């Protein structure tokens, strides 16, 4: 299994990505305005959102073969999520019958401030193959996460819920965790659904 480098949040605000995403996706993910808000009320970049909506699968993959037709739609779901098109991302993910899609639904509920349904989604998923890597990456930026034996989406939901109701001492950390979660989940769906 490929080892991921530790992320440095001081070096850049762009979303880290594995080498090999398509030029289209690299362009979207290089946008530094993405994933800056825990509960967005408007699109981070309306032009990027439109580009994601209107892109073809071939543009997304740069003509690479799609190896998992069931999972591949989550690439678009993730890009919409990153541009803060949370409702649209959720609607698309909820049409896919897969634990990874249910996890994306939970992420969307959390960002919409619907913490009850976020927990419900995470309960349905149970554990996920990315949790070990996600925990390792998130532990580098959060002492609370590092205290856990594995990635705990309920802990993250609880921290976001506390932030919503006025406990802002972890706001920067939560934004970093949100970004790490996105990057790790996106990389997983890309690797599972597109020929590398």
Q: What does the pLDDT read at residue 135?
A: 97
Q: Other CB atoms closer than 10 Å to residue 157's CB: what's the count?
A: 21
Integer Cα distance of 28 and 146 in angstroms? 30
Integer Cα distance of 152 and 110 in angstroms? 14
Q: Other CB atoms closer than 10 Å to residue 131's CB: what's the count?
A: 18
Helix, strand or coil for residue 126? Answer: coil
Q: Where are the alpha helices (DSSP H) in the chain?
A: 23-29, 46-54, 57-61, 73-82, 86-93, 99-111, 115-125, 131-139, 143-146, 153-164, 171-193
Q: What does the pLDDT read at residue 12?
A: 39
Q: What is the pLDDT along the chain (196 residues), one digit of tens a residue?
A: 334 343 333 333 444 545 569 999 999 999 999 999 999 999 999 999 999 999 999 999 999 999 999 999 999 999 999 999 999 999 999 999 999 999 999 999 999 999 999 999 999 999 999 999 999 999 999 999 999 999 999 999 999 999 999 888 889 999 999 999 999 999 999 999 999 8
């Amino acid at each position: 299994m490929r080892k991921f480098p530790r992320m440095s949040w001081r070096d850049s605000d762009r979303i880290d990505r594995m080498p090999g995403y398509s030029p289209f996706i690299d362009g979207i993910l290089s946008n530094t305005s993405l994933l800056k808000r825990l509960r967005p009320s408007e699109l981070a970049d309306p032009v990027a959102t439109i580009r994601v909506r209107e892109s073809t699968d071939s543009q997304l993959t740069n003509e690479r073969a799609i190896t998992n037709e069931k999972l591949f739609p989550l690439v678009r779901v993730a890009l919409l999520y990153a541009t803060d098109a949370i409702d649209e991302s959720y609607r698309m993910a909820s049409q896919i019958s897969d634990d990874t899609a249910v996890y994306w639904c939970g992420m969307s509920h959390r960002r919409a401030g619907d913490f009850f349904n976020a927990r419900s989604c995470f309960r349905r998923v149970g554990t996920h193959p990315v949790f070990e890597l996600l925990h390792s990456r998130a532990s580098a930026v959060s002492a609370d996460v590092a205290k856990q034996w594995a990635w705990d989406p309920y802990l993250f939901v609880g921290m976001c819920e506390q932030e919503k109701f006025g406990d802002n001492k972890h706001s920067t950390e939560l934004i970093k965790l949100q970004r790490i979660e996105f990057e790790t989940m996106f990389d997983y769906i890309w690797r599972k659904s597109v020929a590398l």
